[in-house]
Chains A and B, each alone.
Chain A
Amino acid sequence: MAAKSIISRPVYGTLSPQPGKHHLFVADAEGALAISDLAAKAPAGFFRDAHIIFIPGRDGKHVAALEALNPVQFHQGPSFASALPRLKQTLANAHMGLRLYLAGTEGLIGQAMQAALEAGIDHTSIQTEHRGSLARRVQCVHCKGITENVTTQPATCSHCGLLLLVRDHYSRRLAAFQGVCINAEDRSEIPPTEEIFR
Chain B
Amino acid sequence: MSTGTTKLDVVVSDVVPVNELVTRFHFRRRDGALLPTFSGGAHVVAEMRDGERTRLNPYSLMGSPLDTREYTISVRRDDAGRGGSLFMHRHVRPGAEMVISYPVNLFSLDLRARKHLMLAGGIGITPFMAQTAQLAAEGGNFELHYTCRTASLGTYADVLRERYDRRVRLYHDDRDERIELDRLLSSQPLGTHLYVCGPSGMIDWVRDRAAALGWPAETVHFEHFAAPQPGAPFDVTLAVSGKTIRVDEQQSLLEAIEAAGVDPPYLCRGGVCGQCETNVIAHDGKFIHNDHWLSEEEHRSCRKIMPCVSRFEGRSLVLER
Contacts and interface: CB of A to CB of B under 8 A. Distances in A.
Q: Do A and B associate with each other?
A: yes
Contact of A97 (B114, B191, B214, B218): B214
A96 B189 contact: yes
Given A19-B212, A19-B213, A94 B218 contact: no
Contacts of A96: 185-186, 188-190, 192, 213-215, 219
Q: Bin chain B's interface residue count.
A: 10 to 19
Interface of chain A: mostly helix, strand, loop or mixed: loop
A18 interface: yes
B191 A21 contact: no
Nearest to A22: B214
B175 interface: no
Given A122-B219, A125-B219, A99 B191 contact: no
A121 B190 contact: yes
Contacts of B186: 21, 95-97
A58 to B, nearest CB: 33
A109 to B, nearest CB: 17
A120 interface: yes
A98 interface: yes
Contact of B190 (A18, A19, A119, A124): A119
A34 to B, nearest CB: 20
B140 to A, nearest CB: 14
Interface string A9-43: 00000000011111000000000000000000000
A124 B214 CA distance: 14
Contacts of B301: none
A125 B218 contact: yes
B318 interface: no
Contacts of A97: 185-186, 213-215
A98 to B, nearest CB: 6
A137 B142 CA distance: 37
Contacts of B114: 120
Interface of B: 112-114, 185-192, 211-216, 218-219
Q: Give me the 4 closest cross-chain CB pairs, A-B, nearest first.
A: A120-B191, A20-B214, A125-B216, A97-B214
Given A95-B188, A96-B215, A120-B113, 16 more contacts: A19-B213, A19-B214, A20-B213, A21-B186, A21-B213, A96-B185, A96-B188, A96-B189, A96-B213, A97-B215, A120-B114, A120-B189, A120-B192, A121-B190, A121-B191, A125-B218
21 contacts: A18-B214, A19-B211, A19-B213, A19-B214, A20-B214, A91-B190, A95-B186, A95-B189, A96-B188, A96-B214, A96-B215, A96-B219, A97-B185, A97-B186, A97-B214, A99-B214, A119-B190, A119-B191, A122-B216, A122-B219, A125-B219
